[in-house]
Structure 1
Amino acid sequence: MRLAVLASGRGSNLQAILDAIATGALEARVVGVFSDKPTAPALQRVPEPLRWSRKAKDYADRGAFGTELADAVAASQPDWVVCAGYMRILGDAFVQRFRGRILNIHPSLLPKYRGLHTHARALAASDAEHGASVHFVIPELDAGAVIAYAPVPVLTDDTAESLAARVLQVEHPLLLAVLQMTAAGRIDEQSGRAIVDGQPLFTPLRLEFATT
């Protein structure tokens, strides 16, 4: 399975993918890492020929940046595109070009808390449970069909930072579990719904992982 990975930050989810490939836990190959931030540490996790980065502000408009990004991703011939900490909203044209083959990991139990500051919002709402979700990407932000999620308890003394750290502990195994199913040909999207093993998911898969 050929993976194009989009990342804007440190690349911890990317590293989890690379580690799983190295140990044989994931039958895949990262064919490119693409970033909107040339200084993103994620880029340093792969050899230089696999890196692509541009500053969006250097382009005349959002569409021009999106077109060049899409062309670069397409040139790597990916089977799937994985947004792993990619903080820029993908344009409609990009999403439609790879529709049904773009996955994103998001730090909330979707459909709750699309967008940013998810941990603080979960605390403000006095949620008992928070977590991470893997979903298909559609033009609407964080609104695509959810394939699987991993919950974590919200503790009475949690801060946004401590809750974020606990969610990160389940993000990596959650993303890998979905990618393993994807590599096995078990994941698809049809008519806006996630399909697993040929059957539509009426509720996302709940996957449990230990946290400290």
Structure 2
Amino acid sequence: MAGLKVGVLISGRGSNLQSLLTACAASHFPARVALVISNRADAEGLRHAGDTGVTSLVIDHRNYPDRERFDAALDQALRAAGIELVCLAGFMRLLTPGFVTAWQGRLINIHPSLLPSFKGMHTHRQALAAGVRIHGCTVHFVTADLDAGPIIAQAAVPVGANDDEESLAARVLEAEHRLYPLALSMLASGRARLDGDRVILSDTFPTGQEMLMEPHGLSGV
């Protein structure tokens, strides 16, 4: 199977991993997941890899004396598999600056807010506390600064008057499951490219207004 070789790093249930695996299974999709790595042996997402025949590894961070040596093991495994792009999908480890630099421009993440708003943890709580009417998710390149890398794609989700953290999180997660494959498709097909600290979209790709929609409005995967 041809296509950009993607490695996915996970720590838990792997719902975004599943969305990427499903998208990559389509014959026309310009990327394929070639390796899944978890830092936890009990990560539910490993089953998704197994169900689709994708190679998976467990690299337990507790077996390494420091972050640098753990990240070195990640780097070695990714390079050995010929990985060209790394997707973080619920990977609950802070990556060292050395790892981020080594994979600069080839390392992306999905964050449950419309960056640059609500960086870090508890984004839905932050959004509700701020009283925003629009929330959402962002796929971005990873840099040494937390949740601050160049934005690839975003999806907006309205905040309802009766929303709590759980209900809002559930709707944002639905948007994530559509947005992440879309962003991967954009990069793998060349419809989006990194230019310095900005992502440039090709003329054939939808405008920002068309992209900033609820998940059912996303297209192009």
Taking structure 2 as the reference length, the TM-score comes to 0.87
Query: Taking structure 1 as reference, are residues 15 and 95 closer, same or farther at Cα in structure 2, changes over 3 Å only?
Result: same
- In structure 1, how many angstroms separate the alpha carbons of the residues matched to 2:198 and 2:82? 25
State the number of aligned residues.
Answer: 207
**Residue 42 of structure 2 aligns to a residue in which SS?**
coil
Distance in 2, matches of 1:82 and 1:195, equals 19
Residue in 1 aligned with 2:38?
35
- RMSD between superposed Cα atoms in Å: 1.9
1:6 corresponds to 2:9: yes
Range 179-188 or range 119-128, more displaced: 179-188
Q: Cα deviation per residue 1:12-71 (whole Å; 9 max; x = unaligned)?
A: 111111111223352322110011112111111113871122222221111111111111
In 2, Cα distance between the equivalents of 1:190 and 1:38? 37
Contact 2:193 2:200 (C-alpha < 8 Å) held by counterparts: yes
Does residue 197 in structure 1 map to residue 196 in structure 2? no
Equivalent residue for 2:20?
17
Contact between 1:66 and 1:90, CA under 8 Å: does it hold in 2?
A: yes
Partner in structure 1 of residue 181 of structure 2: 176
**Do the aligned residues in 1 keep the contact of 2:17 with 2:45 (CA within 8 Å)?**
yes
TM-score normalised by structure 1 residue count: 0.90
* Match for residue 88 of structure 1 among 81, 90, 93: 93
1:64 correspondence with 2:66:
no
- Per the alignment, residue 155 of structure 1 pairs with 160
Partner of 1:165: 170
Structure 1 residue 205: Cα displacement: 7.7
Q: Percent identity?
A: 43
Amino acid corresponding to residue 190 of structure 1 in structure 2: D
- One-letter amino acid matched to 1:136: F
Residue 67 of structure 2 aligns to which amino acid in structure 1?
R
What is the rounded CA distance, in whole Å, between the counterparts of 1:73 and 1:114 in structure 2? 27
Offset at residue 8 of structure 1 (A): 1.1
Offset at residue 186 of structure 1 (A):
2.1
